[in-house]
């Protein structure tokens, strides 16, 4: 954008020219959910700080570009657990081999022409066995369990919360704000106590700022340095939120980016773009759509999309 663009490293992408955004959310595979849960648990248990994990990711150099988001998160966790003397490199490699062997299924009762070229069959949902990064995460988990630092249930329950609990919370907060002016006022002033009073436990993981979309101002959220997002309030961010193209571009051409998502904002409206780059996390309170005046809170929750909570879409009148 400036023509003389320099950055701190591969992660500092704000302002780079980049191509169109893949606006579809591709969801997460099981191994990615597991990787995410292990990382969140490691931070919650203070095995390392988020800043250390970020520093390790930023230090991957050329490898940063060669591997995907959850692969980077996995490798940075391994680096930090090694630094902290919690998981040594050789122990990790050995355990990965042990776990890989456990996925080998002996060939019994298979037709003669089904010999897999003499290779053992790997037992998992794809038939190819776990990838190297999943093995790495499984091995880190086991080695931490061996030291009684975590339990299998810590990881399992984290995955479940990301599936069933966190993703529904944001819409509850918005529906409450739409139907209770005093709640909205307090939410905009200081969000955490108001949200926690609803019975939503943010687990000390997110300091929330709620910002309201109005007829005059439209807010959009991004994290140009990584993928900061209020996960205990809104779950895992969609794929595009973590993408290089969204993170590079939305800060210098928000209107063009919004158009790619089918969102047109009038020039009379101020676009306020928020780079969520440090300790605060953001939820956009979208404008309440017309035709919902007599709706119940449950009905309202059902039309509040995840994308609207970062201001990338607006909610259509009903």
Tokens of 13: 């992408």
Following DSSP, what letter does each residue of 249-302 receive, concatenated? HTTT-HHHHHHHTT----TTSEEEEEE--SSEEEEEEPPPPTT-TT--HHHHHH
What residue has token string 């609207």?
A: 308
Residue 190 lies near another protein (rule: CB under 8 A):
yes
Minimum distance from residue 96 beta carbon to another protein (Å): 26
The alpha carbon of residue 274 and the mean position of all alpha carbons in its chain are separated, in whole angstroms, by: 17
Minimum distance from residue 26 beta carbon to another protein (Å): 26
| 5: CB partners within 8 A, 6+ apart | 15, 16
Whose Cβ is closer to another protein: residue 237's or residue 254's?
Answer: 254
| Coil vs helix vs strand at 72 | helix
Whose Cβ is closer to another protein: residue 148's or residue 268's?
Answer: 268
Q: Which of 12, 142, 160, 212 binds another protein (CB under 8 A)?
A: 12
Minimum distance from residue 181 beta carbon to another protein (Å): 20
Q: Which of 94, 105, 110, 270 binds another protein (CB under 8 A)?
A: 270
Residue 52 lies near another protein (rule: CB under 8 A):
yes
Q: Which of 242, 275, 287, 297 binds another protein (CB under 8 A)?
A: 275
Residue 1 lies near another protein (rule: CB under 8 A):
yes
Minimum distance from residue 159 beta carbon to another protein (Å): 16
Residue 55 lies near another protein (rule: CB under 8 A):
yes
Nearest by Cα to 221 from 286, 304, 300: 286
Question: Considering Cα of 239, then 267, then 309, then 226, what sign does the dihedral take?
Answer: positive
Q: If you ran DSSP here, which 8-state letter would residue 132 be given?
A: H
Tokens of 220: 């959009």
Minimum distance from residue 270 beta carbon to another protein (Å): 5
Query: Which residues are known catalytic residues?
Result: 223, 226-228
Could you list the residues that contact another protein (CB under 8 A)? 1-2, 5-8, 12, 14-15, 49, 51-52, 54-55, 58, 83, 190-193, 196, 201, 203, 207-209, 224-225, 251-256, 267-280
């Amino acid at each position: 954008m400036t023509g003389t663009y320099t950055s701190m490293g591969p992660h500092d992408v704000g302002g780079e020219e980049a191509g169109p955004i893949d606006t579809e959310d591709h969801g997460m595979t099981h191994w990615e959910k597991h990787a995410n849960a292990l990382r969140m648990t490691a931070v919650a248990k203070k095995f390392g700080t988020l800043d250390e994990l970020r520093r390790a990711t930023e230090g991957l150099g050329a490898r940063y570009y060669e591997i995907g988001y959850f692969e980077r998160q996995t490798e940075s966790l391994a680096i930090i657990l090694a630094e902290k003397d919690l998981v040594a490199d050789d122990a990790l490699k050995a355990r990965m081999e042990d776990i890989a062997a456990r996925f080998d299924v002996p060939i019994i009762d298979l037709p003669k022409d089904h010999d897999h070229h003499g290779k053992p069959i790997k037992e998992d949902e794809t038939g190819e066995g776990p990838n190297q990064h999943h093995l790495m995460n499984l091995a880190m988990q086991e080695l931490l369990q061996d030291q009684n630092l975590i339990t299998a249930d810590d990881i399992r329950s984290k995955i479940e919360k990301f599936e069933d609990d966190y993703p529904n919370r944001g819409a509850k907060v918005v529906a409450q704000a739409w139907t209770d002016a005093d709640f909205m006022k307090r939410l905009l002033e200081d969000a955490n106590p108001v949200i926690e009073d609803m019975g939503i436990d943010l687990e000390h993981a997110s300091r929330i700022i709620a910002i309201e979309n109005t007829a005059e101002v439209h807010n959009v959220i991004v994290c140009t340095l990584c993928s900061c997002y209020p996960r205990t309030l809104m779950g895992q961010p969609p794929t595009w939120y973590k993408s290089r193209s969204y993170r590079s571009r939305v800060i210098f051409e928000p209107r063009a980016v919004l158009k790619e998502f089918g969102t047109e904002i009038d020039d009379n409206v101020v676009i306020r773009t928020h780079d969520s780059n440090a300790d605060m996390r953001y939820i956009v309170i979208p404008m309440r759509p017309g035709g919902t005046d007599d709706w119940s809170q449950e009905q309202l929750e059902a039309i509040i999309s995840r994308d609207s909570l970062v201001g990338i879409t607006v909610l259509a009148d009903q």
